[in-house]
Amino acid sequence: MTMARTCPVCEERVSHADVYCERCGHRITSPPAAPGTDGAPGAGGSNGDADGTDVHTGPMPTFEPCTWCGAGVTAGYCAECGMCQPGDRDHVEIRAGTVAGVSDRGLRHHRNEDAMAVLTPDGPEPAVVAVVCDGVSTSPHPEQAAHVAAETGAAVLADQLAAGSGAQKATEAALTEAASAVAELAETEESAPACTYVSAVVPARGGGITIGWVGDSRAYWLAGSPAATASTLLTRDDSWSEAMVALKVMTPREARASAYAHALTAWLGADNTACAGHTTTVTPDGPGALVLCSDGLWNYFPDPAALSDLVPDAGEDPLGAAQACVRRALDAGGRDNITVVVIAVPESERADGGGADGSPGAPEAHDTEPNAALGGDQGGGPTGGQVRGSGGNGG
């Protein structure tokens, strides 16, 4: 009988031909021997005492061992297996006035493939801009894709707003530039780093909130009082499960239970041929908070009301709310990287942009025209001909 083989780190099922786990990147095969450990006497070798104790007889090795395979590391990457080494991105916290974010590696992954960026640009209309990206684990160097997309997107948003552009134009420009920056990382189309993307522009004095996204990282509105607009999800996932529900092929419960539930139908990357970026502008009645997150959070707390109950004071303490979200996701299992950005939204007079029932409005009704810079055949829907696996439980 053939026994099923699983990754010893994340328990993902792997084939006997796999060298690395496609989900977390862990080396499945036996690692190569580190330099000087073959047991032969000489420089870097060792001799055995009579009692079997090894005694080092040469100079101590000066190389930094790879976390994954034990070989030498250069500039943060293994010279043997090419894997990025764990670093200072394993847990990151940022705070800038009314916005704060926390990004954590989680309990199963060996590195943090999420990224976030926050800026508060000056301009005609002061605002907070934020971007969250989730690297696609089945692509090479997903952590690079996420980092480049987040930094590029936030910088373009800030520059556009400071120059007087409207939030919609700035959001579209940021999506375009982030997509181009990630595409440039690819050496070939077959080895293209990839990531998801979600951004927000939140006016400092309240008003319309503009969201842009590709993939399955999400934006939530969380009500800060009973009189505020009810908590709701503001984005629509570019995922196989979302497509099946939209086509009425499956119920939401059936789609979530599928092995393909987290497969993406759109992402940022050079191998993307069917991607349309989305934007929406909503004007909720505050006070409250806007939450941007990777699926490391919403896998455990997908319901807006449940998320709001988890951090009822998010608008009053953004950093505390982001920390609480990450902590609860870790307590729930922490199977993926977790990134949460929380932006406080003040109470303001209602302007055009909300739904007739007082809701922020359905994001589907505000999708942009397909953005040609984000892919080739811009079909504009979630059911394009290309699907990318996201490594099981999330990006």
Residue 124 has pLDDT above 50, yes or no: yes
pLDDT of res. 356: 38
Average pLDDT in the 50-73 region?
57
> 295 or 29: which carries more pLDDT confidence?
295
CA 194 remoteness from chain centre = 10
pLDDT of res. 66: 73
Q: What are phi and psi of 347, to 5 degrees?
A: -75, 140
Provide the angle, in degrees to the nearest 10, between the axes of the packed helices 142-162 and 167-183. Answer: 150
Alpha-carbon distance 250 to 17, whole Å? 33
294-307 pLDDT tens trace: 999 999 999 999 99
282-292 pLDDT tens trace: 999 989 999 99
241-285 pLDDT tens trace: 999 999 999 998 898 888 888 899 999 999 986 566 999 999 999
pLDDT of res. 16: 59
CA 264 remoteness from chain centre = 13
pLDDT band at 190 (very low <50, low <70, confident <90, very high): confident
- Looking at domain 91-374, which CATH architecture does it have? 4-Layer Sandwich (3.60)
Q: Which of 31-40, 219-228, 376-385 shows the lowest per-residue confidence on average (mean pLDDT)? A: 376-385
Quick one: tokens of 103? 């990004």
The DSSP string of 152-208 is HHHHHHHHHHHTT--HHHHHHHHHHHHHHHHHTT-SSGGG---B-EEEEEEETT---
Distances (CA, A) of 356 to 48, 217, 282, 353: 81, 27, 12, 9
Q: Which amino acid is at 26?
A: H
The answer to whether the beta carbons of residues 209 and 282 sit under 8 Å apart is yes
Average pLDDT in the 336-351 region?
85
pTM of the model: 0.73
Q: Can you give the residue ranges of every domain in the chain?
A: 91-374
355-375 pLDDT tens trace: 434 445 444 334 443 333 333
Task: Please give the share of the chain, as a percent, with pLDDT higher than 70.
Answer: 69
